[in-house]
Amino acid sequence: MSKFQNAPGTFDLLPPDSAAFLGVREAMTAPLRAAGYDYIETPTFESTALFKRGVGESTDIVTKEMYSFTTRGGDDVTLRPEGTASVLRAALQANLIRGSLPVKLWYSGSFYRYEKQQRGRYRHFSQVGAEALGAEDPALDAELLIIGDDIYRGLGLTEYSLLLNSLGDQKCRPVYREKLQEFLRGLDLDEETRKRAEINPLRVLDDKREAVQRQLTGVPLISDNLCEECRAYHEEVRRLLTAAGVKFLDDPKLVRGLDYYTRTTFEYVHSGITGSPTAIGAGGRYDGLSEELGGPSLPSVGWALGVDRTVLALHAEGREVAAGDQLDVFAVPLGDQAREVLFELVTTLRRSGVAADFGYGSKGIKAAMKAADRSGARYALVLGERDIAENIIQIKELATGEQESVSFTDIVTTIQEKLK
């Protein structure tokens, strides 16, 4: 046993649990690929200034949770705490927006935040994300919301809710901001929260502390202060979701933990992970982020779905998680000559599209068959000296125990037929 262990707040993804993660990740990415989203991959770390500018100086992510350090060359860099800023930076840098808009991108990877350790909240976590860059269209917001809902329903989840809000735009939000700040100045808040209220008062609405939430009774709501354009935009998003059969709950206090959101903002929440509503996916529209990063006007929308949290939600509901690709055959050689013959056959099967594994090491028949059972394969291929002499091989269906003999010349086509 190693004397080293994983860092606090992190986890190792190991078999057999890793198969569930792969199954969930595939369930999240397949609908995006089918909807015209292309894959993008960005570095694990970026310039610290990117996240300070993009995520927001007043957010908990920037002030408390980022893993930032200075490289040997003197560069200030940060492990990515979220994906949107990096994707937008990459798209602007490569000028992906020069052609037809929107540019639709998806990504998958690990992200890092120094948070208090608890179930469903780790310091490194896995997400699948999608970003649609360059179009101000409520149908695009609805598309991503519908895809997210389809993903969770397709996985078999039933005990989740979609929370929906609008945060307005540069026209109506400043007026609301002043109203909200005036209200917050009359509350009994600690010094740090007062400072936050002056920088970005919306952040206070997202404060989870009971002492703060208790004082927010009667707080002005953005939903009551939207301009006509934002109200019409939001109503169209709601209409499209309703027409698609997507259930949602209006949440006028939903602001999310990042500063770049405008208009449509949303969370998919599940109560079975920690006993209280926990976000398993979230996102929104961020029409001004490109300008914040020095780019052109580029209205955009996106979301990120938590892979590890979705797996926990599935377990909480007692749902069986899709395990990904299944092994088709496991080869069990009995003797040195059989090892040589079966090893060649396994290579041939793999090249013909059959998922195959091999009984490595010197195992007896009992131990080798136990290994075959543990592998999860559908069939075992058993070969001994007598079989070689008769030019046959034994195929055993592991679920039923049924066994038959097949000639070597027919073995590949026989297995392929069985797998159909």
List, as residue ranges, the binding site for L-histidine: 82-84, 113, 127, 131, 256, 260-261
**Three-class SS state of 104:** strand
Residue 365's φ and ψ, nearest 5 degrees, are -60, -40
As to burial, measured by CB atoms within 10 angstroms (0-12 exposed, 13-18 middle, 19+ buried), residue 158 is exposed
What is d(CA 365, CA 249) in angstroms, rounded to the nearest whole number? 59
Angle at 21 between CA 26 and CA 110, to 5 degrees: 90
What is d(CA 13, CA 347) in angstroms, rounded to the nearest whole number? 28
DSSP for 117-167 reads -BTTB-SEEEEEEEEEES---HHHHHHHHHHHHHHHHHTT--SEEEEEEE-
Strands (E), 251-373: 262-270, 278-285, 300-306, 329-333, 356-358
Q: Name the pairing type of β-strands 329-333 and 379-383.
A: parallel
Number of H helices, E strands in the chain: 16, 16
What is d(CA 312, CA 16) in angstroms, rounded to the nearest whole number? 15
- Residues of the binding site: 82-84, 113, 127, 131, 256, 260-261
Please name the residue that has the structure tokens 């002043």: 178
Please name the residue that has the structure tokens 């079989």: 387
What is d(CA 107, CA 32) in angstroms, rounded to the nearest whole number? 10
What is d(CA 31, CA 244) in angstroms, rounded to the nearest whole number? 16
For residue 382, how far is the Cα from the chain centroid? Answer: 41
Q: Which parts of 155-216 fold into alpha helices (H)? A: 173-184, 191-199, 202-205, 210-213
